[in-house]
Amino acid sequence: MVDGLLDWFRLIGARTINAVWRIGSGTRFLFLILLYSGLSFRRFGLTIRKIFFSGVLSVIIIVVSGLFVGMVLALQGYETLQVYGSEEKLGVLVALSLLRELGPVVSALLFASRAGSAITAEIGLMKATEQLSAMDIMAVNPIGRVVAPHFWGGVISMPILATIFSAMGIFGAYLIGVVLIGVDVGAFWSQMQDAVDFRYDIVNSLIKSLVFGIAVTAIATFEGFDAAPTAEGVSGATARTVVTSSLLILALDLMLTGFMMRGWN
């Protein structure tokens, strides 16, 4: 009984120490990426390939999800707004929810599952097949050659994807709200323009998605680089990438929103 309890405490301690250790080594890894990122800009072709890998290949899922999220928002928003007879505020509702929250957050979650997992799997498999060690032996720094281009490719792609997501969402809301339901088209756009501020809504949306991009790609590359060089290790690392980056996106979103909102302070 006592032994069981002690084991339980030992387990909690080990888990905690392990988590703190991983945070530390992850942060150190992020600094190493920044330190060795010279090559990703001197040979920008490397980074462009990774932008293709994580950005261009994610466009389809981002466009389709953005369209559907915008459509659903328009339907749901109309349902509630028409109770108060203010259907023409539909544009405002959709644009602000997309720009402030859903655009950056949902596209970052999609990015984590589409591109983050792929980055982890690729780097993890390169480690498992000893390609990274081979590079090291050939005096090529694997962090500078493989990891940093992945990192910068993801960081550059993320704000572009989030912007496309928001734009597609607003277009979807236009399709449902104006074309299908028949909200006045002039009121839809003009009320939206009146309420959406360039600095406080659009720029903040870009800042959010940039932060999420850094978080997701840093976690994805770290998990890949840190993976145990076995099939099981790579699959575990891929799963951890999606879980950790999704949780971190939501936590960061709360913090960033707290900084950015002006209504309550």
Give the residues lining the site for another protein (CB under 8 A). 45, 48-49, 51-52, 55-56, 59, 84, 95, 99, 157, 159-161, 163-164, 166-168, 170, 189, 192-194, 196-198, 200-202, 206, 262-263
C-alpha dihedral, 39 to 48 to 109 to 221, nearest 10°: -30
Write down the least CB distance from residue 143 to another protein, Å. Answer: 22
Residue linked to tokens 């099981």:
232
Q: Considering the complex, state which of residue 40 and residue 163 has its C-beta at the smaller distance from another protein.
A: 163
CA 22 centroid distance within chain: 20
Q: Considering the complex, state which of residue 100 and residue 240 has its C-beta at the smaller distance from another protein.
A: 100
Write down the least CB distance from residue 126 to another protein, Å. Answer: 18
Q: Considering the complex, state which of residue 111 and residue 222 has its C-beta at the smaller distance from another protein.
A: 111
Cα–Cα nearest to 151, from 185, 116, 200: 116
Write down the least CB distance from residue 211 to another protein, Å. Answer: 17
Question: Would you give the DSSP letter of residue 85?
Answer: T
Write down the least CB distance from residue 262 to another protein, Å. Answer: 7
Q: Considering the complex, state which of residue 167 and residue 256 has its C-beta at the smaller distance from another protein.
A: 167
Q: What is the CA radius of gyration of the chain?
A: 22
- Both tokens assigned to 33: 């990426």
Q: Considering the complex, state which of residue 123 and residue 161 has its C-beta at the smaller distance from another protein.
A: 161
- What residue type is 94 in one-letter code? V
Write down the least CB distance from residue 196 to another protein, Å. Answer: 4
Write down the least CB distance from residue 194 to another protein, Å. Answer: 7
The whole-angstrom separation of Cα 225 and Cα 142 is 10
Q: Considering the complex, state which of residue 87 and residue 223 has its C-beta at the smaller distance from another protein.
A: 87
User: Please, what is the Cα angle at 196 between 84 and 78, to 5 degrees?
Assistant: 30
Would you say 241 and 117 are in contact if contact means Cβ atoms under 8 Å apart? yes
User: Please, what is the Cα angle at 108 between 106 and 114, to 5 degrees?
Assistant: 100
Write down the least CB distance from residue 212 to another protein, Å. Answer: 15
Q: Considering the complex, state which of residue 95 and residue 148 has its C-beta at the smaller distance from another protein.
A: 95
Label residue 103 left, alpha or beta by phi (over 0 means left) and psi (-120 to 50 means alpha): alpha
Burial class of 233 by CB neighbour count within 10 A (0 to 12, 13 to 18, 19+): middle
